[in-house]
Amino acid sequence: MTAGVEAQAPRLSSLEIAAGMPLGGVGARDLPRSIGRGPLAALEAAITPALERPPCLIAFSGGRDSSALLAVASRTARRSGLAEPIPATLRFSAAEAEEGHWQEIVLAHLGLSEWYRHEAGEELGLLGPVAREALDREGLLWPPNTHLLAPLLEAARGGSLISGVGGDELFGGWRFARLGSALRGRARPGRAELRAAGRALAPPPLRRRYLRGRSPRLRWLRAEAQRRFAAATCAAEAAEPVRWRPWVEWLAHHRYPALIRRSGETLARAHGAAVAYPFLDPGFIAEMRCLPAARRGERTTLMRTQFGGLLPEAVLSRTDKADFTAAVWTEETRALAERCRDGLAPEIAALVDGEALAEQWRSARPDFRSSTLLQAGWLGRAGTAENKPSGAGSVASLVREGSGHG
């Protein structure tokens, strides 16, 4: 997010690799002061450096976040006399990943004619040749689908690629949005809002006790690892602020944005391009933190207040979303998965029930959180950790010392 945070090069612990997700923040740090320009102006400022490094591609799925970035970038380029951004789309054969209808609506509305499309097949699987090349060269990347940027970065070689990562969390992650609307009299409180109010007002120990029984169960974790995972997730959720401004700061402190940026920038350098994450830009987040109460709310409310007039209402208010799980769990990946259990480092393997993990990977719809273990196992089995220098081509490049969290 900021130079100081990125310099810390956050890494995953063994437990986080086993769980497939970061489990905590990076520690307290201040966002910049709002200068009163508003989120949209801040987003334009975050996008402009990428537009000034053409060709500027935008990873465009047709979802709300990528559509919003494309709309803002197009308007900014036209106002500034810069080359228009190029929507760049991965096209998968899996039906649940298909968003062609929405893509056509957005592009027609924005009046964009140039459109880069990459037909994606087996090569973009979690253990396909593109992912294996990135793993062998860079080591473990998080999230495990970072390699999907590779063909888009190659198309942007010498220029820049804009990603909409971070939009889901900032626009749709505030779990107390409905409670806030109810407290402001904009919605009638129901049972869910009353329960949320009870949790919000409860002391942290009581909140943790309530949440412990609702912690997700990862079936491939051994009992002690599951206990530690539950404790970490409950502690994080119990500490989540209820009010909007502290919540935005809490979200900005989380380690996941720094991990995403580190992996994306590492991959981009290999392809001779720059990658930008405008929704993770500290100036934009600072302006979002200062949104007036009347402009806050659930995801659709936030999309309308920020991007109303830039996109059709049908796009701003859509509730469906593409799912790329099947697209990356290709036949080749499933075949190679059989070899990966034995490649896990001892401190990671100790946290995992090997048979349950194999069963997960053989299932019709594997839990995406198990993908980090899949790639870690591939790296270990390939002997990459011994054959590559530290910091490249090894599990150690994203793992910090110790097998626990924090």
pLDDT band at 319 (very low <50, low <70, confident <90, very high): confident
Per-residue pLDDT of 29-43, as tens digits, reads 578 888 889 999 999
More confident residue, 193 or 1: 193
Q: Is the residue at 188 inside a domain?
A: no
Domain that holds residue 285: 26-171+250-316
Among 5-9, 26-30, 153-157, 318-322, top mean pLDDT goes to 153-157
pLDDT-derived band of residue 405, with 50, 70 and 90 as boundaries?
Answer: very low
Q: Does residue 132 carry a pLDDT above 50? A: yes
Q: Does any domain span residue 300? A: yes
Query: 55: cis peptide before it, omega within 30°?
Result: yes
- Does 267 fall in a domain? yes
pLDDT of residue 107: 97
**CATH code, domain with 87:** 3.40.50.620
pLDDT confidence band for 400 (50 / 70 / 90): very low
Instruction: Report how far residue 90's alpha carbon sits from residue 120's, in angstroms, rounded to the nearest whole number.
Output: 6
Q: How confident is the model at residue 241 (pLDDT cuts 50, 70, 90)?
A: confident
This prediction's pTM:
0.86
Q: Is residue 392's pLDDT more than 90?
A: no
Q: Give the mean pLDDT of 105-130.
A: 95
List CB contacts of 259: < 8 A, sequence separation 6 or more. 10, 12, 22, 142, 143, 398
Is 41 a domain residue? yes
- Please state, rounded to an integer, the average pLDDT across all residues of the chain: 85
Both structure tokens of 83: 């080359």
In a domain, 133, yes or no: yes
State yes or no: pLDDT of 175 exceeds 60.
Answer: yes
pLDDT number for residue 279: 97
Question: What spatial distance separates the first Cα and last Cα of the chain, rounded to whole Å?
Answer: 20
In a domain, 160, yes or no: yes
Residue 79 in tokens: 């106002």
Tell me what the mean pLDDT of segment 138-147 comes to.
Answer: 95
Please give the full DSSP string across 121-176, using - where no structure is assigned.
-GGGSTTSHHHHHHHHHH---SSTTGGGGHHHHHHTTTSEEE--TTHHHHHH--TT
Residue 212 lies in a domain: no
Q: Would you say residue 344 lies in a domain?
A: no
pLDDT tens, 265-295?
A: 999 999 999 999 999 999 999 999 999 988 8
Tokens of 149: 């940027």
Domain total for the chain?
Answer: 1
